Structure 1
Amino acid sequence: MVLYLSEVLARMSALRRYSFLLVGLLCPAVIAVTSQAYTWRNVKIGGGGGFVPNIIFNPTEKGLAYARTDIGGAYRLNADDTWTPLLDWVNNNRSDYWGIDALATDPVDTNRLYLATGMYTNSWDPNNGNILISTDYGSTWTASPLPFKVGGNMPGRGMGERLAVDPNSNNILFFGARSGHGLWKSINYGSTWTQVTTLLSTGTYIPDPTDTSGYNSDKIGIAWVTFDSTSGLKGTATPRVFVGVASKGSNNIFVTNDGGATWTAVAGQNNTYLPHKGVLSPSEKALYVSYSDGAGPYDGTMGAVYKYDITSGTWTDITPVSGSELTFGFGGLTVDLQRPGTLMVATLNLWWPDANIFRSNDSGQTWTQLWEWTAYPNMSKYYTYDDSLAPWLGPNYTYTGTDLKQIGWMIEGLSIDPHDSNHWLYGTGATIYGGHDLLKWDTSVRNVTLSSLADGIEETAVQQLISPPLGPVLLSALGDIEGFVHDNLNTVRTTEYSNPTWTTTVDMDFAGNIPATIVRIGNGDSSTGKQVALSLDSGSTWSQDYGAADNMTGGHVAISANGDTVLWSTSSNGVLVSQYNSTFTVVSSLPSGAIIASDKKNNSIFYAASGSQFYLSEDSGKTFASTTTLGSSTAPVKVVVNPNVSGDVWVSTDTGLFHSTNSGSTFTAISDVSQAWVIALGIAKFSGGYPAVFAAANIGGVGYFRSDDSGATWVQINDAAHGFGSVSSNVLTADQRAYGRVYIGTNGRGIFYGDIQ
């Protein structure tokens, strides 16, 4: 679960390859395409699956809280501990809206909500950032453009919050930008923004200046903005504001006492580390700051926690541990607004045996922690673990080993409910944890309940989906959490794929004649380094394909109709083939990176596409010959084969959709389709009829479509409330047993399935 970076790089690769695809979804139609109403639901894995950088409670309205994610948008907390997604309407036109770099909930007009949106600040993302503004708790939005990029999925995304509303004059907001763009201010509820030029420090820290990709070589910038509500009066601008800046070796916390007209460095501050969070304790007139030597969320080997007494102007080092015990930085930080002097802080990157959270009831003079060593390897856990809402998170509470990963990792968001001292939530690299009995921590028992509480936050980055005609209705390949067998679409999953276990499953395929035989490939660690696995029982159990070489990863995979041959288009070692688990050998007749597929009825036939060329193999993938061209295509995306008819092949490309009924000897371009991304074939509407063709395509506008007559006519099946984000990053498969059902795997909002209403 460490390798979120692999997910990031894969996503960037997709952006580079398909930069031409950034076109509008639901554009005004030039071609007459009717719509058909679909009901869309999430395939349930139990919530989570991705990084939740922060959870923010509204300090005024009880029960109001929001969570932001790095690639999956924002969510609002419900009374039953579930979450409601707020950005499912986001489409390909502005898929970067799903990257949330900061969130602010208005303490005065609590219906107001603000999001700083944008995915990347480097060259792969062409979009400048926006401040999304809602006046109805996130039900509807307007966008306020910014003249620079915002990085919701960049390093340092757990710092914050960079966006803050003045608690005394809520028309005023401050936003701290990345990339050296400094501090910005709005005086009209976020509608327009001007730069605060009087704050000269814009942050100097760069995670890795040598990174040529631009991902780790950009300035982190402003880390957080915190208003001192006690310094002003209701109805007038708050004069005192603190700003944390990502700099090391120089001043990094600044204060204004005149609403931003002038700024000074706070005297006596620690400038050894980066200030991650700056949290005000109003009743104490104190500012608490967590520090780490890295920007997070993956790094950080040293850090500190400090308390700043605003009245006296003095700093106190209140770091919970020291010496050899201090091997991590600090991220998540919160105070209990009902209990002055009570605060909690989380380790940012303590990977073994588990993360830890510290709690103090005396302003940081003394601390207790969620677990501690007794005599190694024994440890005392002061919590009860409950993953019943997402059993795949495990190991469950009965686990007695020392590599727990129950508390989590990458803990940047940590919040005590300002209206309920028993209620707390925190975000990890995979989910949200918390509970409703936090005050037990302060008793002699200290046995708080640590529950998975991300129900509704389906944040997985989906790499592939398959829906075989027999067995489970769906199998998923997911970034960072392997994937699951989905024998029920509405029931939480229990365990991920295992034996072998990798970080990410990148592709899967089933054998057409014996669909219980499945192949999967992955990225990340396994016991032998081999990244090919086979199942003979629909994914229930797996075994490694020992014909695979170590340290070859990624790409695309196809398995022959009878399941004896695996064709693998690797990420960096060309196209390989193996029969009967033999050693994989190079297929020299195919270009590296070719898109591949197997015929689902004829065991000897495989297909491939690269550039404008289509290729056919009739000797089980050993050799391929080019048969024809795919128009003027330069980037084929997907080859899909009719599961019931040999030689019936569809190919989606950057110039359209192509169909062959003779194993690719000739292709017909489907009229009116100017671009096509992922495609899928489902069960026919009538027995013996054409299979239902599903396509993410440009047919008078980019959207998701179905055709029941081999592409002669189409209906659009998505709507204004369901945009599914970046079309070039999504995957698609169709159900082989239920007419009209389609599955869409998104890059950050998990898996959706749609049925005709």
Structure 2
Amino acid sequence: MKFGGGGYVTGLVFHPTTSNLLYARTDIGGAYRWNQATSSWTPITDGIGFGGGENRFHGIESLAVDPNDDRLVYMAAGMYTFEGNARMYMSSDRGDNWTHVDVPFAMGGNNPGRAMGERLAVDPNKPTTLYFGSRLAGLWKSTDSAKTWTQVTSLSSVQMTTAQGYGNGVSVVVFDTGTKGSGTATPTIYAAISPDYVSAANLTSSLYRSTDAGATWSAVPTPVTGMYIPHMVRAADGMFYVGFTAAAGPGAGGPGRLYKFDGSTWTLLKSEDPTQWTSYGIGSVSVSGSGATTRIALGVSNSWGGGEIVQLSDDAGKTWREIEVGTSGETASGWVDDIEIDPSNPDHILHVHGGGIIETTNASAAKPTWKGTVAGLEETATLALVTPPAGASYNFVNSAGDVGLWVQTDLTKPPTLGPGLGWSNGYSADMAWTEPNYIAGFGMTNGDAKVKGYWSGDAGKTWSFFSSLPAGAQQNQGGSLVVTSRNNLVWAPSNSVPSYSTNNGATWVATNLPPLATIGAGGWSRGYLLVADRQNPNKVYAYDSGGATWSNLPSIVYISTNGGKTFTASPGMASAKMASDAYGSTFMAVNPNVEGDLWVADGNTVHHSVDSGTSWTKIAGFASANGASGASLIALGKAAPGAAYTAAVYVVGVRNGVWGVWLSNDAGATWTRFNDDAHQFGGIGVMAADHNVYGRIYVSGTGRGLLYSN
């Protein structure tokens, strides 16, 4: 689905000498490379292997390029510090292919402070040497092109724990050099230290310097204390421009200060005065040129459309003017936590924000024109997906985080049809199979955390809200909803007993399904997954996955024959022996062409019933391996031409130790892998199959929006 952006781009990295070679890193959606020929972004991490939790390596902590070789790029990857040790990736072809090494420290590409940096830096004079500023374990060094890493104990050997917080640690590494390729290590290096690590390691400053190529380090006195240094950049004349801000971000809150630093003297250039702009912060800074005419672009974070977004100076910080607020075209305030001046064109300035990237190519104009540059960059998070019967006027209904519910009518264009809830989460939706213009769903508006149910009778053109909510819907956001026929619905809020409505949501009545037992410390989230039989509107199936692999609770499929009012447990459950697993690691689907044809992926394997759950057949060959779920998703779509079985079956799981999307055209007798190693997307969280086109599935990658096959 072409949405464009939709998520937080945490950093932009230009190659310093090759025009138009630009990389973007995201917090959950991997990394991208700019394609000048198509004016779009190319994803470069879709082929990163998926297995034992490898979706976490789509959280990109930092990127670095080799200024001597524009084909070399390095990537630090790990989504959360609590997930354990991370990885360093290396590419010799601009990210088309990667190798990696596991590193003995954690990363946090989606932790607070994720736009600070860059933490990863290549020594321009001796490019086999790299430094990385970690969040919890201080500064690290590699002398063999990122293959092995050693802690720089001359700075600190302290290892913080996740109990001390997310950790921001060493946030920036900068080499003090204007040369490259000399073969001799750059002697002067700076490392910015966040307040948490300053405290934990008993350091005395937020900035340290080495003048002997990293052998020893000494504190640099700074003009302010107790603040973060989110970015520090070097101009061509050796002058440093350093931002200080009170909060780590996203949306690095203020007060903020910008200084220039010549190695000994600090000069204040810009102050986001808390008496005037209480929360404004200095999120990012970039420079071009040198001396008295140095161009400085300053990203003002947390301003939310106030008086400043991008401040520009063309006289090394003596005077400033605002170049985004009040201009024509698009504007994007808020999380302006990285800004970059194009090294080959100083009139080209880009900055990140909460929904992607925005740029101007005429920064010197009195009122520059800004526009989003997000083509090909998709970071929306689909939470649920449903496809209509063949011949419907739309392709699917997408319930997504932050951007809400959308009805997709053209795969080549962004969607335009939805309930119009703005910044909201869509949790679940369904349509009447015999009348697909009737669509119902529910979600939450993020501004006030209010859950709303909504419906459309004209395929998404207009919408109305349900006049009431079922028990548990507001308190337990998320869950599942199905439509049995127009105005007849069953809604299963998370951790709640499902309810049904026969009057289009005017009133709700609880079903007889049993309450779900709380498991785990603090209450592990659970829920019933609902599906409606597409051939018999009186049949509804409810699946309780047991909640977790360690819950010791049974996994049960329930069947209703009266439209979801009352349910009974499938009589075949005892012999089926389905595994217990988390709600998000399991799935249930029906063959829409045959009554009672039901499929379950229980987290470990696949089960099939052709008699509405009276009996079950276990599909051989699926099994969890290497930390990857054996069967987490299942979808049925249009059958292959000439196939005996009336639907194509797609399963996300592991067969013979290989994770992927698997396809069967013969009801599970034989399987072939449908995707390949280049299309793994950091794992697949949601999948649905098309009923018009054989071989077309829709999947959500980890932070990669919604993708489809042909």
For 1:290 and 1:190, locate their aligned partners in 2 and report how far apart those are by CA, in whole Å: 28
Tell me, yes or no, if structure 1 residue 625 matches structure 2 residue 572: no
SS at structure 1 position matched to 2:9: coil
**For the residues of structure 2 that align with 1:231 and 1:651, how far apart are their CA atoms?**
61
> Which structure 2 residues correspond to residues 514-525 of structure 1 after superposition, within 5 A?
514-525=435-446
Deviation, 1:354, is 8.2
Partner residue, 1:407: 332
Amino acid of the residue matched to residue 134 of structure 1? S
Relative contact order (C-alpha < 8 Å, sep 6+): which is higher? 1
Aligned to 2:592: 643
CA shift at 1:54, angstroms?
A: 0.9
- Provide closer, same or farther for how the CA distance between residues 350 and 513 of structure 1 changes in structure 2, counting only shifts above 3 A: same
| CA distance in structure 2 between the aligned counterparts of 1:502 and 1:573, rounded to whole angstroms | 25
User: 1:104 Cα shift?
Assistant: 0.4
Selected match of 2:580 from 600, 613, 634: 634
Query: In proportion to residue count, which structure has more strand?
Result: 2
SS of equivalent residue, structure 2 residue 33:
strand
Counterpart amino acid of 1:417? D
Partner amino acid for 2:87? N
Q: Which residue, out of 667, 684, 687, partners 1:732?
A: 687
Say whether the 8 Å CA contact 2:299–2:351 is kept in structure 1: no
Distance 1:632 1:739, change over 3 A: closer
Does 1:484 pair with 2:484? no
| Alpha-carbon displacement from aligned partner over 1:530-580 (angstroms, at most 9, x marks no partner) | 322112222222221122167345333232321323222223444333331
Q: Which amino acid aligns with 1:634?
A: S
Corresponding residue to 1:349 among 269, 279, 302: 302
What is the CA deviation profile of residues 112-149 of structure 1, one whole-angstrom value per residue up to 9, with x for unaligned ones?
Answer: 10000111111xx3x52111111121122111221122
Give the 5 Å matches for 1:308-323.
Answer: 308-310=261-263, 312-319=264-271, 323=275
Per the TM alignment, residue 58 of structure 1 is displaced from its structure 2 partner at its CA by: 0.9
1:241 aligns with 2:161: no
1:453 to 366, 370, 373: 373
**C-alpha distance in 2 between matches for 1:189 and 1:71:** 25
Question: 1-side partners of 2:580 and 2:118: how far apart?
Answer: 43
Q: Which residue number corresponds to residue 523 of structure 2?
A: none
Aligned to 2:397: 475
Q: Does 1:229 align with 2:183?
A: no
Report the CA distance between 1:228 and its aligned residue: 0.7
State percent identity of aligned pairs.
33
* CA deviation after TM superposition for structure 1 residue 56, in Å: 0.9
Judged with a 3 Å threshold, the aligned counterparts in structure 2 of structure 1 residues 408 and 579 are, in CA distance, closer, same or farther, namely farther
Q: Partner amino acid for 2:411?
A: L
Structure 1 residues 498, 290: closer, same or farther in 2, change over 3 A? farther
Counterpart for residue 719 of structure 1:
676
- How far is 1:420 from its partner? 0.7
CA distance in 2, matches of 1:232, 1:511: 65
Residue aligning to 1:64: 21
- The answer on whether the counterparts of 2:349 and 2:359 sit within 8 Å (CA) in structure 1 is yes
Alpha-carbon distance, 1:350 to partner:
2.1
| 1:542 alignment partner in structure 2 | 463
What is the Cα deviation at residue 352 of structure 1?
A: 4.8
- 1:560 aligns with 483
- Residue pair 1:155, 1:216 contacting (<8 A) in 2 also: no
Equivalent residues of 1:163, 1:225 under 8 A apart: yes
Q: Deviations along 1:38-88, whole A, 9 cap, x unmatched?
A: xxxxx322x211110111111122221111111111111122431111111
Asked if 1 retains the 8 angstrom alpha-carbon contact of 2:48 and 2:680, the reply is yes
Pick aligned residue for 2:360 from 414, 429, 435: 435
Residue by residue, what CA displacement relative to the aligned partner does 1:154-179 show, whole Å, maximum 9, x if unpaired?
11111000001112221111100112
Q: CA deviation at 1:322?
A: 5.5
Q: Which residue of 2 aligns with 1:590?
A: 514
**Structure 1 CA distance for aligned equivalents of residues 290 and 256 of structure 2:** 28
Could you state the TM-score of these two structures normalised by the residue count of structure 2? 0.88
Contact 1:560 1:604 in 2 (8 A): no
CA distance in 2 between counterparts of 1:567 and 1:662 reads 22
Distance 1:523 1:291, change over 3 A: farther
The alpha-carbon deviation at position 486 of structure 1 amounts to 1.9
In 2: Cα distance, 1:176 partner to 1:354 partner: 34
1:260 is displaced (CA, Å) by 1.2
CA RMSD of aligned residues (A): 2.5
1:485-516 Cα offsets, whole Å, 9 max, x none, are 221112234x4633444522122222222112
Q: Segments of 4+ in structure 1 off by > 6 A?
A: 201-204
Shift in Å, 1:315:
3.8
User: Could you give the per-residue CA deviations for residues 346-392 of structure 1, whole angstroms, max 9, x where no partner exists?
Assistant: 122223558711111222222111356xxxxxxxx1x2215xxxxxx
**2:346 & 2:131 partners in 1: Cα distance?**
28
Q: Is the 8 A contact 1:202 1:245 kept in 2?
A: no
Residue equivalent to 1:29: none
1:277–1:333 Cα contact (<8 Å) kept: yes
- Provide structure 2 residue ranges, at least 5 long, that are not aligned to the other structure: 517-526, 547-554, 624-629
More divergent stretch after superposition (734-743 vs 84-93)? 84-93
2:57 counterpart SS class? helix
CA contact (8 A) 1:329 1:347 kept: yes
Q: Deviations over 1:78-110 (max 9, x none)?
A: 224311111111232232221110000111122
Match for 2:56 among 78, 96, 108?
A: 96
More off after superposition, 132-141 vs 686-695? 686-695
Aligned to 1:350, the other structure's residue is in SS state coil
Q: Structure 1 residues 488, 660: closer, same or farther in 2, change over 3 A?
A: same
Q: In the aligned structure 1, how far is the partner of 2:484 from the partner of 2:396?
A: 19
Q: Report if the CA contact (8 A) 1:133-1:141 is conserved.
A: yes
Which stretch shifts more, 678-687 or 417-426? 678-687
Aligned partner of 2:696 in structure 1 is 741
Aligned residues: 662
The Cα offsets for residues 420-464 of structure 1, whole Å up to 9 and x where unpaired, read as 112121111111110221221xxxxx2211111111111222212
Q: Any gaps of 5 or more consecutive residues in structure 1?
A: 1-42, 207-213, 373-380, 387-405, 441-445
What is the aligned counterpart of 1:513 among 419, 430, 434? 434
